[in-house]
Amino acid sequence: MRESGGSHGSLPDFCRYFRQNCPSDRSLPDCGKKRRTHRDVGSQGISPGTPAATHVALALCCYLFILANIVGCLSFHQGPMPLEPADATFLTVDGVRIRYLDIGEGPPVVLLHGYASSLETWETVLPDLSRTHRTIALDLKGFGWTDRPPGDYSPLAQADLVLALLDRLGLNEVSVVAHSWGSSVALAMALRAPDRIDRLALYDAWVYEDQTPLFIHWASAPVLGEILFGLFYGERPDERMALAFYDPERMTQDLADRVGRALDRPGTRAAALATARDRSLAELEERYRTIRQPVLLLWGREDTTTPLPYGERLVRDLPGAELVVYPRCGHFPMIEATAASNRDLLRFLADRGGSR
């Protein structure tokens, strides 16, 4: 996959380019072979102007060119993007153009997707939920069709932007439904504005620092993060997504194509890297026990992305929480256990009662 507006090569691409363009110097290193040291080079009398020195200089230039392309790919983006849906609805809030959906009537509910996802996560939930509730789904900053501006991508910053969107929509108190990393944004909303959040339903929540994948930890390092996200963030999304399901057949070609196209939108890698670096989960999790709203945790028993023990931990950390577990289900109960999870969600929201 390539970021729109830029391109880059992988390391094997670079090595092929080097071999093809420097065929006469067989003493120079190939991929997988031991690299020569400065002492080795000096001992053979390589000096500026010799063919070997020219090839070394060419290799260095190619390497710097690749790094420049990687960094160039990690640029942010604001404004319309190619192939935007004709029927999409946008609202600019605090300088961020947000795509959202507002359907149905009744008590308001806000839907928050997970990392590297979009409001389409809720396609199996929207029809049932919108029959009884005013349902607002949105693409969080940096994802879907929403802007990818530079700035703060922490859960608290995302929470502030969602609350500002609700202000523009004339909504004060809402229930919040969230999936995976979006659950950290939902809990941040409850911490930031407790009087505005009636209750929360969290699917397979990613809300603890020790849930963070090693790839994300590595990406927190300066330069290394740009290289990792530039080279690997968009690689093989279908294979990675399939691991999130109990039944890999749920990863259809249509879903894989949609994920691939989303990763190619301008600014996506920069925003994803900023989100990874600004996660701030360690600070948030210290405050979870202060959240008093009723919470429903919906969890796939076979989830390997956010394993069930984290749900069991979270139900202990949130005083008003209950945990429902779905067998033969991975990271997406709304897809692999649609009927059961929708039933449990509607039951939970029906207990909403009046304003607190």
Asked if residue 230 belongs to a domain, the reply is yes
Looking at the structure, tell me whether residues 196 and 309 fall in a common domain: yes
Q: pTM for the whole thing?
A: 0.79
Instruction: Give the range of the structural domain holding residue 94, as residue numbers without chain letter.
Output: 89-350
Given pLDDT bands bounded at 50, 70 and 90, which one contains residue 60? Answer: low
Q: Yes or no: say if 195 and 299 are a contact pair by the CB < 8 Å rule.
A: no
Element (H, E) at 41: helix 38-43
Query: Structurally, how many domains does the chain consist of?
Result: 2
Q: What is the mean pLDDT of the chain?
A: 83
pLDDT at 18: 35
Do residue 111 and residue 157 come from a single domain?
yes
Euclidean distance between CA atoms 323 and 102, whole angstroms: 28
Task: Report yes or no on 239 lying in a domain.
Answer: yes
pLDDT of residue 350: 95
Considering only CA atoms, which of 176, 218, 174 is closest in space to residue 196? 174
Same domain, 204 and 167: yes
Query: Is there a single domain that holds both residue 288 and residue 177?
Result: yes
Asked if residue 198 belongs to a domain, the reply is yes
Is 228 found in the same domain as 106?
yes
The residue among 30, 45, 73 that closes a domain is: 73
Mean pLDDT of 150-167: 98
**Model pLDDT, residue 180:** 97
167 assigned to some structural domain: yes
Instruction: Name which of 116, 124, 123 is nearest 141 in CA terms.
Output: 116
Express each pLDDT in 43-56 by its tens digit.
344 445 556 656 66
Query: According to the model, what pLDDT value does residue 38 have?
Result: 39
CATH of the domain at 332: 3.40.50.1820
The 10s digit of each residue's pLDDT in 287-306 is 999 999 999 999 999 999 99
In a domain, 212, yes or no: yes
pLDDT digits (tens, 9 = 90+) for 340-354: 999 999 999 998 554
